[in-house]
């Protein structure tokens, strides 16, 4: 253990005792946290999770008092319960609550949780107690009437619009003009703010209003965006982008809060709305699902390579074998041929091939979204996991072929040489 | 891409999972008000 880490641990143990010295301890702790760097902080996280806990000496007395109290004497019983509860309060939560109450402390706690979650994703064990306390604290922080919804429109501040433009990661933008288009006619954007951080939203959503479903991103933010405009009031709201700006708030359900509040707001504003739907990407479809299947890498999927080969029979199989690149192998395996054809840069420009591929690819994509699950039984695709977990539904009819032909869209959900 | 559909029952399911929260804060405008009526600073 380094000297800095030892000092940070010592301060963490003392913070929360109250008094004027607490302020100095907090300042010292914050400085040390910054100086530790990522590796040192991982050591601090492990210590906080495994070592900073209530001591036996602190709870032995209250536990014994409760043990000997009679429930018939309500006053004595309740007092004993309260005393034991107080003695069991997590010293980690005391530390983080004290941190939150310092200037900029909330952002620090959010950043720390973000690092803890990332470490856990990387397989770091032993951080469960710390993550539980951080999650519990932030969940309380988000549940006390402190969240509020705002509509972001063309009258919103330049700072806000620029912030959203920079934080839009689902369909990123190059210019502010593109953001303005997303705030204009038949478009809307709503953001959820926390009263403690009123300058930046914690999560925001972009909505397209239309007559009927929009089935490609080009109809929402591309060249075809104006083609579906109607003089009639909209009957459909399409949520096409949800972005969280604070990774430290992951898993706390803020996106669900946002969807709920936005549907209420939109209903009030557009009584003609009948349908609420998303237009969502299918991340991972090509690199983590279809490609491994076609190349014969067994990843334990429900869909087998043999089943895919069956989908590729007849004219499609012949077309694939005929079209495969000259440098590719010469055997007559249609699955391998499909992988090779899809990896070439120009397959989307061949209308005949697209016509033949459309149905099998949509069938495979449907299986990926609706049937493939992870070890916990949750949808393998994270976006499907979010929406289906909310109770939304997916159907074959609502899968859209070649609906995002941007380089990013292709890399995520369709084959591309960039993958 | 894919359209996930949110029916009344799915919204009700979310509503059950979300505790009561203030929909509009001190800086916000009522959800039915037109844009520009009192937007953020």
Q: Nearest C-alpha of chain B: how many angstroms from A394?
A: 5
CA quadruple A106, A107, A113, A116: dihedral, nearest 10: -140
Give DSSP secondary structure letters for A55-106. Answer: -HHHHHHHHHHHHH--TTSHHHHHHHHHHHHHHT--HHHHHHHHHHTSTTHH
Chain B residues in contact with A143 (beta carbon < 8 A): 19, 21
**Over residues A202-228, mean pLDDT:** 88
Nearest to A256 among B1, B17, B24 (CB): B17
**Over residues B2-26, mean pLDDT:** 75
- Here the ipTM equals 0.84
Q: Is the CB of A365 less than 8 angstroms away from the CB of B14? A: no
Kindly state the tokens that stand for A20: 């004027």
Chain A residues in contact with B17 (beta carbon < 8 A): 253, 256
Chain A residues in contact with B6 (beta carbon < 8 A): 259, 263, 276-278, 387, 390-392
Compare A345 and B25 and report the one with higher pLDDT: A345
A397 pLDDT higher than 70: yes
- Banded pLDDT at B20 (limits 50, 70, 90): very low
What pLDDT was estimated at residue A222? 80
A105 pLDDT higher than 70: yes
Nearest to A394 among B4, B9, B20 (CB): B4
What pLDDT was estimated at residue A392? 95
Provide the whole-model pTM. 0.83
For B35, nearest residue in chain A (alpha carbons): A153
Residue with tokens 């972005």: A243
Give which of A247, A201, A264, A196 is closest to B20, Cα–Cα. A264
Asked if B28 and A149 touch (Cβ cutoff 8 Å), the reply is yes
Q: What is the mean pLDDT of chain A?
A: 89
Predicted confidence (pLDDT) per residue in A219-270, tens digit: 998 877 777 777 899 999 999 999 999 989 888 888 998 999 999 999 999 9
What pLDDT was estimated at residue A59? 94
Q: Is the CB of A392 less than 8 angstroms away from the CB of B31? A: no
Compare A328 and A368 and report the one with higher pLDDT: A368
**Over residues A67-79, mean pLDDT:** 95
Chain B residues in contact with A275 (beta carbon < 8 A): 5
Predicted confidence (pLDDT) per residue in A289-314, tens digit: 999 999 998 778 999 999 999 998 88
């Amino acid at each position: 253990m380094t000297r800095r880490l030892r000092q940070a641990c010592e301060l963490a143990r003392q913070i929360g005792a109250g008094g004027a010295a607490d302020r100095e301890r907090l300042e010292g702790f914050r400085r040390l946290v910054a100086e530790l760097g990522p590796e040192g902080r991982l050591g601090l996280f492990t210590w906080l999770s495994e070592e900073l806990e209530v001591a036996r000496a602190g709870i032995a007395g209250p536990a014994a008092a409760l043990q000997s109290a009679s429930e018939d004497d309500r006053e004595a019983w309740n007092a004993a319960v309260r005393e034991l509860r107080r003695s069991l309060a997590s010293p980690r939560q005391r530390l983080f609550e004290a941190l939150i109450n310092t200037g900029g402390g909330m952002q620090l706690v959010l950043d720390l949780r973000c690092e803890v979650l990332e470490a856990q994703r990387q397989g770091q064990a032993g951080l469960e107690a710390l993550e539980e306390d951080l999650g519990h604290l932030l969940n309380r922080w988000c549940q006390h009437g402190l969240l509020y919804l705002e509509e972001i429109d063309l009258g919103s501040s330049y700072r806000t619009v620029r912030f959203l433009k920079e934080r839009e990661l689902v369909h990123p933008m190059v210019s502010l003009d593109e953001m303005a288009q997303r705030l204009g006619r038949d478009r809307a954007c709503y953001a959820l703010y926390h009263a403690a951080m009123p300058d930046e939203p914690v999560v925001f959503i972009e909505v397209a209003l239309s007559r009927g479903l929009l089935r490609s991103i080009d109809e929402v933010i591309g060249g075809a965006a104006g083609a579906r405009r109607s003089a009639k009031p909209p009957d459909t709201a399409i949520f096409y982008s949800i972005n969280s700006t604070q990774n430290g708030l992951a898993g706390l359900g803020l996106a669900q809060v946002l969807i709920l509040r936005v549907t209420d707001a939109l209903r009030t504003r557009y009584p003609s709305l009948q349908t609420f739907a998303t237009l969502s990407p299918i991340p991972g479809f090509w690199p983590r699902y279809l490609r491994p299947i076609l190349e014969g890498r067994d990843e334990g999927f429900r869909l087998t390579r043999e089943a895919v080969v069956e989908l590729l029979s007849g004219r499609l199989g012949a077309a694939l074998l005929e079209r495969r690149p000259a440098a590719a192998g010469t055997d007559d395996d249609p699955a391998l041929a499909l992988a090779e054809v899809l990896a070439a840069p120009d397959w989307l420009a061949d209308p005949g091939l697209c016509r033949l591929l459309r149905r099998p690819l949509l069938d495979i994509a449907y299986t990926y979204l609706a049937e493939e699950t992870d070890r916990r039984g949750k949808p393998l695709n994270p976006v499907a996991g979010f929406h289906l977990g909310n109770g939304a539904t997916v159907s074959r009819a609502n899968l859209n072929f070649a609906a995002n032909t941007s380089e990013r869209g292709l890399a995520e959900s369709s084959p591309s040489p960039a993958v | 891409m894919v359209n996930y559909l949110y029916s009344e029952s799915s919204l009700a399911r979310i509503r059950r999972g979300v505790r009561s929260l203030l929909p509009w804060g001190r800086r916000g405008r009522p959800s039915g008000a037109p844009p520009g009526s009192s937007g953020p600073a």
